[in-house]
Structure 1
Amino acid sequence: MPGRTASSTARTRRTTSTKNLRNSSPVTEVPDEGPDSSLRRAVCTAFADSQKSTAAHRKTCIALRKLQESCCYEVSSSKKKQTEEFDADDFNREVIRCILRILPVKKAEPVGDRVVRFLGTFLNEASQKDNEILQQDADDDALPETPTSVLTTQILSTLLPLLQAKDKTIRFRATQITSHLINSLDTLDDTMFQQLRFRLLKRIHDKEAPVRLQAVYGLGRLAAEVEDEEDEDSDSDDEVGAGVLAKLLNILQNDPAAEVRRNLLLNLPLTKDVLPYLLERARDADSTTRRALYGHLLPGLGDFRHLSLTHREKLLRWGLRDRDEAVRKATAKLFCERWIEDCAALPAAQTSEEGEQDKDGKKVPVASLDALLELLERIDVVNSGIDGGIALVAMYEFWKGRSDYVDYVSFPDNFWEDLSPELAFVARTFNDFCRTAGPEDYFGPRPLIEMAEEKLPEVTKFGFLLEREIKNLIDAAMLAATEEEDADVEEDLHHREFVVEQMLQMALTFDYSDEVGRRKMYALMRNSLALPDLPEEVTRLAVEVLRLVCGEDNKGERDFCGVVLEAIAEVHDTIMGEDDGTDADSTEDSFHSATSQPDEDDTIVVAQRKAKRAKKELDPQAEADKAVREIMVNMKCLHIAMCMLQNVQCDIEENVHLVTMLNTLVVPAVRSQEAPVRERGLMCLGLCCLLGKNLAQENLTVFLHCFAKGAPALQATALQIITDILVTHPTLLSDPAASDDSESEAKGTQKLITKAYKKSLGSNDGNVQSTGAIALSKAMLSRLITDTDLLKQLVVTYFDPDSANNPQFRQSLSYFLPVYCHSNAENAIRMAEITCSIISRLHTLRETYLEDAEVEEDAGNGDMVKMNLIGQMLLDWTDPRKIVGFAESANVVDAAAGAAQTHYIVAENVLERLVTSQPHKDEKKVLFSMLNKLHLPANGADPERVKTVLELCAEAVETKVSPTITDKNYLTKIQNNLIKIMHDYATEERGGGGAEETVLETTEVDDEGETTVHVVHGAEDEEEEDLDSDVTQLQQDMKDATIGATTVGFTTGIPDAEGTRIEMEDSEMMDVDD
């Protein structure tokens, strides 16, 4: 019987241990709340009813108010017997007792919110009734003390200590009740006001976002009050001295919780000092907060004209270009409805007497052209209405959202008599909307194209109108040249230029099938280009209109080039003729030469001419003026030539006009000593190279030389030209039909180009660096540059903290790197091969960054991305599931050649790094975290690569490179699943399985360290059981055998169809070449 005795002893010991454990647990002491009473039951019933539904709150408030009156005021004799034993303190005590029961209710429970709402409603109504009762006795200079005010003070005094409770639920409910009471009541005691401010200011820094949300909700009401001086007890807390409003504005800018920022946005007072902080939320990271600004705050702000011009422009630009569609719609609605009605308020009030009203009795807004013009003026359409400006987007949304204005606006003759910038912009945007909008953008009775043809003038009439405006522009330009530093003249010139630009933009959309109108526009554009005072933007648009008028065929292109070259020659003669033909000395010299005596010695005449020429050359002012004039004429002619080259597509060698321009204008400009002329000439030469491969091949070294020796601006231009040439003529780097000499020359050129790209990425100039990144992105996406070292440098520079102050560089690469890897399997493999070296390089870079004494203090500012995040980004870029063309489905193994082996390559490189090197512990931690995220699809790599990874994994397990048990488990699980994949290969080689065997198998290690294996089988159940047993046996054998230099061999217990066993020797597993 000893066994029974021992068992009984064990049970007795366990029972005693459990009893001692229970005895050691703390016992919650329930405080004495006094005997039960009818008042307690009535108050509890009211609070119980309040949590069921908000619909019965008013009825419950009336019942609870009757209880309060019966306890605080004298009642009739019939009810006195029932309530005579209870007073105001008893009622307050029971209410507070019920409030304390709300505090443990979690945030997710709606009953707690209902009770809080009921409490605020009750105290508000009870306070109003108390004031009515005591109104005749109340002193005007002091607030009377009422039963409800006493109850409110006791409730807040009870909750104030609980605002700092350890339990987050208690803190949340206490802060919620306090803030709700502050916003529900009209008056507060001064002492309580200071205590609330002190306590709530501490809660705005609470670690729980819901607590901070409720704290700022209560402080938002206090912020509107006049702030008192520092509290006497504030010496113990440094933050209390600061104003409530200043701290709330700081929370508005820096709180990580979007709901906290949104609550402040909607509850802070709308003052002049606070408004700029509120408008900043238009760039908030949370889309709901941005939508709250555009959908709620700004429509209720009042007249938008009180905002500054900068704020109006920024709000429109940020809202209409927001990534969230709801924000864009809210901004468009704000512009189309609220802002236009602010401008139309006075005209609408004047015309509303005859007026239309909608079903709700509201006045229907009346379309007004004057209001529209004022709106455009308020957003500075002259500056925001250029190409790419936000006014174009705003007006498109306006025409789309206000179909009444589309039907209302018209363009009679008096409309064009004195065009202002706003009128011209209305006509231009109306024309663009009618010609580009879809049927879903307008629901009117007539098609938009038909409406545009009817309302706008025909081409011939439009040509005369445009001719008049161009003449006004030239007159204004000549006046501005004579009247220096006259602001009004400069503004008028700017307005005239904007009007002509808008009309030329309209001309680009017209149909020139009418021969009369086409000839008018043809002559007008030809004559306009010959004007030397025509601004550059107007010149560009005039060239585009002329190209459209000449026709799209080859004949029209040759005609276009001839006309433009004639204009260039005329501009050159006009400007330089002012120096040669109107010179007084030249005129006098010619006169004396013509009237000299016939018998005068020729040498004397020649000597006189030389003396005058020498005198003229010695005049420094004349020489300076002539040099400036030469620069001006070259810049003007080169600009016209550049605009022409941007609108032609023919081969440059087949167009005699282009060859002439190249030899007489472009080449001398490239050789010029003046930097602006040389840079513009280089751009023209680059455009010419795009039209001819031979010319590009001859001048590619010129652009490389300009990049190597030029200034930063010239370097950026040269990089753009080189990349455009390579994309247009890709055979310059690799031509399959080229000879050996040409091929060697192409390799040399490619080496120089690669060197230029590397130099641009390491440039100290931000513009050159960002231009180099964008240019290299184009070349790599076009598969013109496949250098892995260059790709590695690109990625390392992307994460380098020195590039943090170059947002254009990082933004361009943020788009390029994932697109580059996911668009092509070869690109992803290329990235996978350098992943491990990138991690090693960046770790060294981060160590250097943190060792710097000046940077170490700011190491947490986020300039250097954390290594774990870098590893996850690299894995995401090389994820085979995201590569275009990869199909991990049944019977599709090589949908994208090599796409499935990217993470096998990463695993091989990471394991090799862990086994053959001694990385730093931080780097090793990153590498193991990457192994945990690998996705290894079945049949994703060839057996040799899988075997290599398996050997490295086994060696890593043997050498104990894993610093923790978790990392060791990762290696073991990956190793076992790689063995299973090898088993599938072995089965397939023996002829087993086939289509009925394993179709799809994926090895992926989850976050928790568990390896998930997805297997889809098509065989019978018996075959599945055999396969499971084989895998189990194989894993058991693997535990007893180690693949490495000291391993003799191991045997896999995998029976084939005849019951034999296949022995795999160590030499076979280790010999990768076999």
Structure 2
Amino acid sequence: MPVARRTIARTARESVPLPDDLVNYLDLIPPIFGQVQHNASNHRKNVVSLRKIQDKCAEITEQGPKGTMLVGEKGFNTKFMECLERVLPVKKGVAVADRVVAFVGKFVTYTTEQGEERSIRRITGENGVVEGPSSRFTIKLTRHLLSGSSAKDKSVRYRIVQTLSVLLNSLGEIDDDLYEPLRTTLVARANDKEPSIRVQAILGLSKLMGGEDEEELDEDEPSLKEIVLDMMRFDPAAEVRRVALYHLPLQPETIEHILARSRDVDSTLRKVLYSNILNNKNVPDMRVLTIGQREDLIKNGLGDREAAVRNAASGMIGGWIGEEFLERFDLSNPQTAEEALLSLFGTRRELVDDLEFDEAFWNEMTPERAFLARVFVDHCATNKDDARLERVLPVVTSFAFKIQDEFNTLISMLPEDALQPGFVGKSFVVAELCKLAVGLDYADEIGRRKMFQLAREMISQPSLPESLISLCMNILASISDSERDLIRVIVDVVTEIRLGEDEGRDRGMSIMADDDSASVATSVRSVTRRRRQSILAKANDPAAQLEAATIDLRCLLVCGSLLERVNGTLRDNEVFAGVISDLIVPSLRNKEEPALREQGLICLALCCMIEVRMAKESFILFMQQLNAGDDDLRIKTAQILFDLLMVHDIGTLVQDLMPVEQVVGLVRHILALDVPGLQAVSAEGSAKLLLSGMLYDAGLLQQLVLLFLSSDTVTNLPLRQCLSYFFPVYCYSSPLNQRRMQEIVVPTIEMLATQIKAFDPNEQAMPLSQMALLLVDWTDPSKVVEREGVEYDQQIHFYLAEGLLRMIATRSDKEMRKTITALLSKLYLPDQVETPRLQAMVVLIRNIASRRPLADAASRNALSRFEKSLTKHYPEQLEEAIDEDALRRIETLESVWGVIDRL
């Protein structure tokens, strides 16, 4: 029986006999509780009836030695609590109990309101406060519930905290004598082991939260807001986190943590955040959030894996729409704003229908307008809405003039304006217009020529922002008749930039007019020689040297952008040969300008991706760069080497440099370099080579496993993220890959055990048991993805079991033997196995148990259970006595008998 019930019972036994009329009134209370538990529609009527009974009881008093005794009031309170106590043991979720608790809350609210309006009997307390039957009833009921809040029965605790939370809606102002025990009780229940009780505690705490003065708290005492905030962040139960989220106010000190729930593991909570907490009613103006917060919310919401969460996020974004919608985003990184805008186009169809891009729209161009137009055109193109596209897009010729006007304004700004908002905004406008220009219809020859000429002039400008080079190249690539013509144009541009505008244009025109590739290459070299002579003449002028390096860097950026779009071989485009020999190769030898050297390396790598002959000639050069330069250059070099190995046939690529077998050594060497960024790039490259089947080496696979599980790479998140994806995909995609992983499990576990012993005790290393479980899981044949024509290898874990048993038999480390023995129960046993190998395994188990027994009982029992599972799984193969002499004559079992003989 709960503590509260025992108190009531004792009080009733010690009381004097009640007057008959009071008994009659009290007998009316239980039927009311009986009615309200069945239907909530009668609550109002029964509240009024119960209040009348309370009034009648309050009129019954007796005179005692100490004055007037409130016999009737005391009897009503006692009877009411007896009826309520019958509900307390009822489990959560029973509707009749929930209705009774709701009725109690309604009654307390009603009787409190009536008591304030008219008190039948008012008695002034010691503190001078006027008290009546209603206030005394509420206080007594609350204290009575508090006395049973720590009951052992979880149902009693749940109903008490539930009732207290309901009562807090009616208590109004609470004096300190009642507030402190209420607060203490609810805080204690907020740490209850039952999630449902913690939920009710939050409901109660949220009602006390608003009236708490945090300045009056002790120094180390957490506020109620902090308690609820911690529950929202850290409680393991999703239902508790959801209720805490609902009841936390959106304030500066809580908003960051509330927004972080957009990454909560519970999809319902994520949906609630977008649809209820951050809806237009609670957040009418998105400016209460920082730009970073808005972008994180949109990115997380629209990128959520659950459709319901994505829809809720779209609804939230729809509530933000207004004239200044795009101004609330950071358009310097427009991905999030683009996702938000596309979401609006998908959910608010009226926006798509109402958008009109008239002449005034294009004449008064702002970053927001340019972005809106570009995203809208992309949306229409994706949805193949050709009619709307034709209506909103301007004529190509006029659009080219518009881009030219914006570009002229951009380049008229001084170099020192490059970091100013005006320059950044204008650069963004030009970029968006260039993106839009790629998708225009160039059937109009006049418009096509105008746009081609404009893009060529823009890319020829030395002051063109670097971010616009690739966009201009996209326009040229989309307009050019062929790849060959595009390369000729860019060679012309590079010549013009290197020799200066006037002389370069004349030379460029002569190059373009020459159809013979060899003659064109000769002309380019002639241009380069003249420029080199000009630079040598100014060898003692540092400013001239710097200017020349800057120009060459710009040319390399243009060439790199071109090479990214070339699909044919360089043999088909010999016009580019002069650029390689006279611009790209010399930049690699420039030790004074690291940026020039790095960009030259990138351009050479892009050439090698296109041309295998050049890749063979340059491979040794890239290898040398691994030991030269800074870490950034080494990382780029590693990326280049792995890309070359992926693009070209490895045998052909290295046939003049090294045996194919040594390529594995090169890869392992790069992987072993102790630079976090370099290790991450090398791990990704190695994973691609292994997963594609282009390369395999057991040592390389083991090296990747050791890197993934090493405590030294805990902070190397790119490496960890790559390998955490790679190993399951590698193993579950192919039985062959799984067999290869199985072959390295035993030696890898041994190496991991050695590493753990060498760790600093303060390092938070993953336990060996957890590492070993990962290896066992990756080799589980039942997890291989089923594909037509591919059967998974059921024997993998059977062979792994043999290797693990050999480890148990030969190792002396007690903890390692214990760890390995625990793995046996995790193994997948195939339907059929070789009888001799099975029998030899059983003999090995029995020899371990008798000649090298395990130290602890748990391990011995695990080994015994594994033997029993073999007997149960293969009864026919193990029902007869095992002929050990016959087994010893089988060559494939020599390793097993070698272990047994050494025991």
**Superposition TM-score, scaled by structure 1 size:** 0.73
Q: Give 2:314's match in structure 1, choosing from 332, 348, 366.
A: 332
Q: Which one has more relative contact order, counting CA pairs under 8 Å at least 6 apart?
A: 2
Identify if the C-alpha distance between structure 1 residues 150 and 410 changes in structure 2 by more than 3 Å, giving closer, same or farther. Answer: same
1:911 aligns with 2:812: no
Q: Does 1:678 align with 2:597?
A: yes
Choose from 325, 340, 358 the match for 1:375.
Answer: 325
Residue 172 of structure 1: which of 124, 143, 158 is its match?
Answer: 158
Q: Are residues 1:687 and 2:636 paired?
A: no
The amino acid of 1:377's aligned partner reads E
Deviates more, 1:321-330 or 1:644-653: 321-330
* Cα shift at 1:331: 1.2
**Preserved CA contact (<8 Å) 2:733 2:785:** yes
Deviation at 1:184?
A: 4.4
Q: Spell out the pairing of 1:514-593 with structure 2 (5 A cutoff).
A: 514-551=444-481, 556-574=482-500
Shift of 1:129: 2.2
Which residue does the alignment assign to 2:177?
A: 191
Q: Does 1:103 align with 2:88?
A: yes
Partner of 2:526: none
> Does the 8 Å contact 2:60/2:71 carry over to 1?
no
Where in structure 2 are the equivalents of 1:610-1009 lying within 5 Å? 622-623=541-542, 625-673=543-591, 674-732=593-651, 745-759=659-673, 763=674, 765-849=675-759, 851-852=760-761, 854-855=762-763, 859=764, 864-885=765-786, 896=790, 899-921=793-815, 923-939=816-832, 946=838, 949-959=841-851, 961-962=853-854, 967-968=859-860, 970-972=862-864, 974-975=866-867, 978=870
2:381 counterpart of 1:463: no
Distance 1:559 1:111, change over 3 A: same
* Structure 1 residue 316 corresponds to structure 2 residue 301: no
Deviation at 1:846, TM superposition (A): 3.6
Structure 1 segment 336-375 matched on structure 2, within 5 A: 336=318, 338-340=319-321, 343=322, 371=323, 374-375=324-325
Instruction: Give the aligned partner of residue 354 of structure 1.
Output: none
- 3-state secondary structure, aligned to 1:792: helix
Contact kept in structure 2, 1:532 and 1:574, CA below 8 Å:
no
Decide whether the 8 Å contact of 2:809 with 2:852 is kept in 1: no
Does structure 2 retain, via aligned residues, the 8 Å contact 1:875–1:933? yes
* Superimposed CA distance per residue, residues 728-753 of structure 1 (whole angstroms, 9 cap, x where no aligned partner): 11333799xxxxx7695333344223
Secondary structure of the 2:672 match is helix
Does the C-alpha gap of structure 1 residues 866 and 963 become closer, same or farther in structure 2, counting only changes over 3 Å?
Answer: same
Q: Secondary structure at the match of 1:102?
A: coil
Name the counterpart of 2:74.
Answer: 89
Q: RMSD between aligned alpha carbons?
A: 3.4
The aligned residue for residue 387 of structure 2 is 450
Report the 3-state secondary structure (helix = DSSP H, G, I; strand = E; otherwise coil) of the residue aligned with 1:318: helix
| Distance of 1:212 and 1:246 partners within structure 2 | 15
Match of 2:233 in 1: 253
Q: Residue type of the partner of 2:450?
A: K
Q: Can you list the C-alpha shifts for 1:190-211, whole angstroms capped at 9, x where unaligned?
A: 3211221223223333333333
Q: Which moved more, 1:312-321 or 1:645-654?
A: 312-321
Q: Is the 8 A contact 1:947 1:1072 kept in 2?
A: no
Aligned to 1:588: none
Counterpart CA distance in 2 for 1:509 and 1:325 is: 31
Q: Do the aligned partners of residues 114 and 435 (structure 1) sit closer, same or farther apart at CA in structure 2, a change above 3 Å counting?
A: same
Deviations 1:950-989 (A, max 9, x none): 554444444454555665555455445656777xxxxxxx
- The alpha-carbon deviation at position 51 of structure 1 amounts to 2.9
Cα distance change on mapping 1:298 and 1:251 into 2, 3 Å: same
The correspondence for 1:290, drawn from 270, 273, 293, is 270
For residue 394 of structure 2, give the secondary structure of its aligned residue in structure 1.
coil
For 1:109-124, list aligned pairs within 5 A.
Answer: 109-124=94-109
Structure 1 distance, partners of 2:150, 2:222, is 21
When residues 70 and 575 of structure 1 are mapped into structure 2, their CA distance, relative to the original with a 3 A threshold, is farther
Supply the distance in 1 between the matched residues of 2:572 and 2:772 (Cα, whole angstroms).
54
Q: 1:975-1005, CA deviations, whole angstroms, 9 ceiling, x for partnerless residues?
A: 45656777xxxxxxxxxxxxxxxxxxxxxxx
The residue type paired with residue 503 of structure 1 is: L
| Change beyond 3 A, Cα 1:405–1:89 | same
Q: Is the 8 A contact 2:58 2:70 kept in 1?
A: no
Indicate the SS of the match to 1:323: coil
Given that 2:840 and 2:893 are in contact with CA atoms closer than 8 Å, whether structure 1 keeps it comes out as no
- CA 1:138 to 1:770, structure 2 compared with 1: closer, same or farther past 3 Å? farther
CA 1:817–1:616 in 2, change beyond 3 Å: closer, same or farther? closer
* Distance apart, 1:945 and its partner CA: 5.3
CA deviations on 1:457-507 (whole Å, 9 max, x unpaired) are 13233222222222222223xx2x1xx3697xx211111111111111112
Describe the shift of the 1:905–1:639 C-alpha distance in structure 2 as closer, same or farther (beyond 3 A). Answer: farther
Q: Quote how far apart the aligned CAs of 1:94 are.
A: 1.5
Write the deviation string for residues 252-275 of structure 1: whole angstroms up to 9, x where unpaired: 333333222222221123333333
1:467-546 → structure 2 map (5 Å cutoff):
467-476=404-413, 479=414, 481=415, 484=416, 490-546=420-476
The structural deviation recorded for 1:636 is 0.8
SS of the residue aligned with 1:644? helix
Letter in 2 for 1:880: P
Contact 2:814 2:855 in 1 (8 A): no
Give, in whole Å, the separation in 2 of the partners of 1:473 and 1:30: 85
Q: Does the CA contact (< 8 Å) of 1:908 and 1:948 recur in 2?
A: no
Structure 1 spans left out of the alignment, 5+ residues: 1-27, 76-83, 344-370, 438-446, 579-612, 736-740, 888-894, 983-1030, 1050-1063
Pair 1:142–1:628, CA change in 2 (3 A): farther
User: Is contact 1:708-1:756 (8 Å) kept?
Assistant: no
Alignment of 1:422-441 (within 5 A): 422-437=368-383
Which deviates further from its counterpart, 286-295 or 525-534? 286-295
Q: What secondary structure is seen at the aligned counterpart in 1 of 2:829?
A: strand
Give the match for residue 581 of structure 1.
none
Residue type matched to 2:830 in 1? P
Question: Taking structure 1 as reference, are residues 38 and 830 closer, same or farther at Cα in structure 2, changes over 3 Å only?
Answer: farther
Question: 1:270 corresponds to which letter in structure 2?
Answer: L
Pick which of 421-430 and 120-129 moved more.
120-129
Q: Which stretch of the first structure deviates more once superposed, 869-878 or 1064-1073?
A: 1064-1073
Aligned to 1:262: 242
SS at match of 2:714: helix
Residue 246 of structure 2 contacts residue 277 of structure 2 at CA under 8 Å; is this kept in 1? yes
d(CA) in 2 for partners of 1:417, 1:214: 60
- The AA in structure 2 aligned to 1:263 is V
- Preserved contact between residue 557 and residue 648 of structure 1 (Cα < 8 Å): yes
1:407 aligns with 2:337: no
- The alpha-carbon deviation at position 655 of structure 1 amounts to 1.8
Question: 1:161-218, CA deviations, whole angstroms, 9 ceiling, x for partnerless residues?
Answer: 3333344333333222222222344332332112212232233333333332222221
Contact residue 697 and residue 732 of structure 1 kept, 8 A: no
Contact 2:839 2:878 in 1 (8 A): no
Amino acid at match of 1:679: E
Q: Tell me by how many angstroms 1:687 deviates.
A: 0.8
Residue 543 of structure 1 and its aligned partner are, at CA, apart by 0.7
Deviation at 1:322, TM superposition (A): 2.5
Flag structure 2 segments of 5+ consecutive residues without an equivalent.
1-5, 62-68, 505-534, 898-903
**Could you tell me whether the CA contact under 8 Å between 2:615 and 2:653 is conserved in 1?**
no
SS in 2 for 1:69: helix
Counting matched residue pairs gives 841
